[in-house]
């Protein structure tokens, strides 16, 4: 097994083992919200599994956690980091065991069952190792939970489905989404960002927050609006935030994020019709926030319905897209009804279309579905879940539709996205009727830059600019058991 091991590579990636060697992370990279959740969970014995798109900062969180452990005076040799590479031909279960044995026997000088103190093993991009779950289970159990595994990966199917069976009761999953708007502001070193920490309630507390939103609007309206345009178009990935040239931002997103994820999926699932796969991805990006009708799509791009359905599931597993179902009383029946497709980042749509900030004013009508996608991802982060008491859906009856219905326990809140300021009462009739029929006190309309509280047919409608809406309730935990 030793032949599988590149000892120099291991030593170079664990510089803290050497006396006096300093280890640091780029200080310009912020601590993501998820970092604090995972940091607090280092004390529990469970395996921690950080999932998410490429380039969202999973590896940065890992390295920040390593620094935290070193600062806490954990024995440096009790911390091990290994990054798996998609280009190597030795990504095997046997190699994973060889790597773990090398660390235990050559660095710690112990067998796994001889461990007395906790050791922290960070395995980055573990999805490139097939059947890794039984290996981690074996070492986790043999060490009597002395090994604390923290793993990352970019493919949900490979990392979650087998884990449910093999690692039941041993693993926590976390999802690291693209940057939230508050995180983006932190990365931009915005000096008024602390004001937003006051907005701790969620969208259901809009009545309590409205005066605060008015204050923020008065103080920062234009600056927030300008920053939100960049965020929605190209500011949801840490490395893209600091790229100044709009063209280069789009190239980075297309090549280093979208392109790499698509290549990963095609390689991992051994896709044969690669061009059709790419065409399908582009089609779905461009039609984000639209009804998902796979049969119609299959005819357009020359794929069988079976192949297309399979490809779409692969794309979902790679975190490129998510599904929003039409509202239904039961989750089982809901899955058989209409559904809408959303890109997991509004940046993807802009990159594929090569949109830039100047297009906001030149052709504002094209941004409705982009902004709706940004709103969906905000709501998905804060309100999605497997439980029926906490989920989002859309409402549709005939030609009438409400973009989002948000459930929180027994509470329900309808939300419309109208990326314009010229909104007449007729356009809002489905929303107002829904409020009346369901006996809900108020609804929300997400606008371009209109902030107003208005009564329509004895129901309260809050008009909230997108740049303020994306700040509300953005500090909730990301942990998912």
- Answer for the pair 181, 470: CB distance below 8 angstroms, yes or no: yes
Residue 2's pLDDT band, with cuts at 50, 70 and 90, is very low
CATH 3.40.50.300 in the chain is located at 2-176
Q: What contacts 275, CB < 8 A, 6 or more positions away?
A: none
pLDDT in tens, 343-398: 999 999 999 999 998 887 777 778 999 999 999 999 999 888 655 455 899 999 99
What is the number of residues in the chain?
Answer: 481
Q: Say how far apart CA 446 and CA 419 lie, in whole Å.
A: 7
Instruction: List the structure tokens of 438.
Output: 């369901």
Task: Decide: pTM greater than 0.75.
Answer: yes
pLDDT in tens, 228-279: 999 999 999 999 998 999 999 999 999 999 999 999 899 888 999 999 999 9
Q: What is the mean pLDDT of residues 197-219?
A: 83
Q: What are the residue ranges of helices labelled H in 147-289?
A: 156, 162-166, 181-187, 206-234, 238-241, 246-252, 260-268, 274-286
Question: Averaging pLDDT over each range in 32-46, 202-216, 361-375, which range is the top one?
Answer: 32-46
Percent of the chain whose pLDDT exceeds 70: 89
Q: What contacts 354, CB < 8 A, 6 or more positions away?
A: 247, 250
pLDDT in tens, 44-77: 999 999 999 989 999 999 999 999 999 999 999 9
**2-176: CATH architecture:** 3-Layer(aba) Sandwich (3.40)
């Amino acid at each position: 097994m030793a032949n599988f091991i590149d000892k120099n590579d291991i030593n170079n990636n664990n510089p803290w083992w050497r006396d006096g060697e300093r280890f640091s992370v780029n200080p310009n990279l912020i601590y993501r919200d998820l970092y604090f959740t995972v940091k607090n969970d280092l004390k529990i014995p469970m395996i921690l599994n950080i999932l998410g798109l490429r380039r969202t900062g999973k590896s940065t969180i890992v390295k920040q956690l390593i620094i935290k452990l070193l600062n806490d005076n954990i024995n440096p040799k009790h911390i091990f980091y290994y990054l798996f590479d998609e280009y190597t031909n030795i990504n095997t279960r046997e190699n994973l065991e060889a790597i773990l044995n090398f660390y235990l026997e050559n660095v710690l000088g112990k067998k796994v069952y001889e461990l007395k103190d906790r050791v922290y093993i960070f395995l980055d991009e573990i999805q490139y190792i097939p059947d890794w779950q039984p290996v981690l289970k074996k070492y986790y159990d043999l060490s009597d939970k002395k090994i604390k595994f923290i793993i990352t990966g970019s493919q949900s199917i490979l990392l979650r489905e087998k884990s449910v069976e093999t690692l039941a009761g041993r693993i926590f999953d976390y999802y690291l989404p693209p940057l939230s708007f508050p995180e983006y502001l932190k990365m931009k070193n915005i000096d008024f960002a602390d004001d937003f920490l006051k907005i701790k309630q969620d969208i259901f507390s809009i009545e309590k927050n409205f005066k605060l939103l008015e204050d923020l609007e008065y103080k920062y309206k234009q600056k927030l609006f300008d920053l939100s345009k960049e965020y929605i178009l190209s500011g949801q990935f840490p490395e893209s935030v600091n790229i100044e040239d709009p063209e280069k931002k789009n190239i980075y997103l297309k090549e280093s994020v979208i392109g790499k994820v698509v290549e990963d999926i095609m390689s991992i699932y051994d896709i044969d019709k690669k061009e059709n796969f790419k065409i399908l991805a582009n089609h779905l990006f461009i039609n984000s926030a639209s009804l998902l009708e796979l049969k119609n799509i299959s005819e357009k791009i020359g794929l069988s319905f079976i192949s297309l359905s399979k490809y779409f599931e692969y794309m979902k597993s790679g975190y490129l897209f998510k599904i929003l179902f039409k509202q239904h009383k039961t989750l089982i029946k809901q899955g058989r009804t209409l559904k809408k497709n959303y890109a997991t980042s509004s940046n993807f749509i802009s990159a594929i279309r090569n949109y830039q900030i100047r297009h906001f004013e030149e052709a504002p009508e094209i941004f409705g579905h982009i902004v709706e996608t940004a709103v969906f991802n905000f709501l998905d982060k804060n309100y999605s879940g497997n439980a029926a008491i906490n989920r989002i859906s859309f409402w549709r009856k005939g030609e009438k539709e409400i973009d989002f219905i948000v459930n929180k326990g027994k509470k329900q809140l309808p939300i419309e996205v109208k990326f314009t300021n010229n909104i007449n009462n007729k356009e809002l009739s489905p929303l107002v009727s829904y409020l009346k029929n369901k006996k809900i006190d108020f609804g929300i309309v997400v606008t371009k830059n209109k902030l107003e509280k208005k009564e329509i047919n004895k129901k309260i409608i809050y008009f909230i600019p997108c740049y303020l809406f994306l700040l509300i309730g953005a500090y909730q935990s990301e942990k998912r058991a």
